[in-house]
Amino acid sequence: MNFVGSHILSVDQFSRSDIARIFETADTMLVYAERQRITRILEGAILSNMFFEPSTRTRVSFGSAFNLLGGEVRETTEVRASSLTKGESLEDTARVLSGYSDVIVMRHPQEGSVAEFAAASRVPVINGGDGSNEHPSQALLDLYTIRKEIRTRGAGVDGLRIALVGDLKYGRAVHSLCKLLALYDNIHFSLVAPPGLSAPPAVVSLLEAKGHKVTIHHELERGIHHVDIVYVTRTQEERFASQDEADRYRGLFQLNQAVYTANCEPNTVIMHPLPRDSRSEAQELASDLDANPNLAIFRQADNGVLVRMALFALVLDVADRVDEFSKPVPWHSHR
Ligand code: NCD
């Protein structure tokens, strides 16, 4: 795809070579993310970071990524604090905000809302998550992490064995990640969900149509045998019709060190898009795994900054000139 000036709405937009381009660019961002150097390449540019749904990592890492490239960030964090509560349409909001910014990141609870917003925007819009539909930047950072983690073992993405665990019905990160992985060859997907939270049939048929092996499990232990990656997700409680319905799924699957040791191959990498639900009744990823070196969740979150910097640099057409506008860090860095 031509990244320059494009909206990033769905992983369907990417080919394998586009992904390679994003990841090469992300690699070049490490010196800035690690504060070895500063770049001002986006000096004068403004990001509108519009989050109409809760977010910590996605919002702050998009904002930090833009700041690290030298740009300024304006933010809305609640629907309540925006004019959408006064009945303003997404189209009008887009027309107005695109007059104030050079790029917009948007998260919204409705599926398709970010595309609707983008259609009325004069500047590129990046989807920060639209309902349970897609979360393209999360899938990119997940795949970037998978590559990095398994490369140290001499493996590549083709032939990967991955277990996706938890709420596969409403988890937009999983939906985007499955579609992205489907571009590679010969992947074994172990889809591990309680009955009622299975992956959407459209996702499963896409994987099968592309020739990947898909096995379905309703029980955690069997589903995580013989995989390179266990990708655990939170029950997306906010998407259920009622809290009572959501409560039925809480705590059904709990990956902890004992379950890991008994069922996973040694060195299986553990991932989670975060936040993990650490309430005692939930615990889909127990904190006794924190000492396990294969727990990649914080490396995964760190990678989000690199991938988001890459997306901004590509969309705003500065990916090859970031270093020209750079200098050493004058202040003490703890990194
Ligand atoms: C995910 C999301 O919002 O879809 N979180 C994130 O962006 N890192 C997953 C989740 O909320 O469970």
29 & 39 share domain: yes
279: tokens are 């309430």
Tell which wins on pLDDT, 335 or 76.
76
25 in any annotated domain: yes
Neighbouring C-alpha atoms within 13 Å toward the C-beta of 142: 29
**Which among 26, 58, 40, 10 is positioned nearest to 183, based on CA atoms?**
10
Name the pLDDT band for 74 (thresholds 50, 70, 90): very high
Using the mean position of ligand 1's atoms as its centre, give its distance from the Cα of residue 173 in Å: 7
Name the pLDDT band for 77 (thresholds 50, 70, 90): confident
Q: Is 279 a catalytic residue?
A: no
164 in any annotated domain: yes
160 & 282 share domain: yes
Stretch 33-61: mean pLDDT: 95
Which among 7, 107, 212, 234 is annotated as catalytic?
A: 107
Mean of the per-residue pLDDT values of the chain:
96
Pairing of strands 229-232, 161-165: parallel
Q: Is 268 a catalytic residue?
A: no
Q: Is 107 a catalytic residue?
A: yes
Rounded to an integer, what distance in angstroms lies between the CA atom of residue 50 and that of residue 43?
20
333 in any annotated domain: no
2 in any annotated domain: no
Which structural domain, as residue segments, surrounds residue 85? 11-134+304-328
Q: What is the pTM assigned to this prediction?
A: 0.97
56 & 170 share domain: no
144 & 268 share domain: yes
168 & 232 share domain: yes
291 & 311 share domain: no
CATH code at position 74: 3.40.50.1370
Share of the chain above pLDDT 90, in %: 93
Q: 54-68, 83-97, 138-152, 311-325: lowest mean pLDDT where?
A: 83-97
287 in any annotated domain: yes
Question: Omega into 275 within 30° of 0, i.e. cis?
Answer: yes
Q: Is 57 a catalytic residue?
A: yes
Atom of ligand 1 nearest to the CA of 57: 8
Residue identified by tokens 């998550």 is 129
212 in any annotated domain: yes
104 & 159 share domain: no
Rounded to an integer, what distance in angstroms lies between the CA atom of residue 105 and that of residue 297?
23
| Residue 173 in contact with ligand 1 by CB distance below 6 A | yes
4 in any annotated domain: no
Which among 7, 25, 39, 58 is annotated as catalytic?
A: 58
Give residue 79's pLDDT.
67
Rounded to an integer, what distance in angstroms lies between the CA atom of residue 191 and that of residue 235?
15
170 & 281 share domain: yes
Stretch 138-150: mean pLDDT: 98
Residue identified by tokens 């995989």 is 227
100: tokens are 């104030």
Question: Do residues 148 and 296 touch, judged by C-beta distance below 8 A?
Answer: no
| Residue 57 in contact with ligand 1 by CB distance below 6 A | yes
Count of domains in the chain? 2
Segment 227-280, tens digit of pLDDT: 999 999 999 999 999 999 999 999 999 999 999 999 999 999 999 999 999 999
| Residue 129 in contact with ligand 1 by CB distance below 6 A | yes
Terminal Cα distance for the chain, rounded: 35
36 & 158 share domain: no
213: tokens are 């092996």
162 & 262 share domain: yes
Atom of ligand 1 nearest to the CA of 58: 7
Q: How many CB atoms neighbour CB 16 within 10 A?
A: 12
258 in any annotated domain: yes
227: tokens are 């995989």
Burial of 114 (0-12, 13-18, 19+ CB in 10 A): buried
Q: Is 7 a catalytic residue?
A: no
Q: How many CB atoms neighbour CB 115 within 10 A?
A: 17
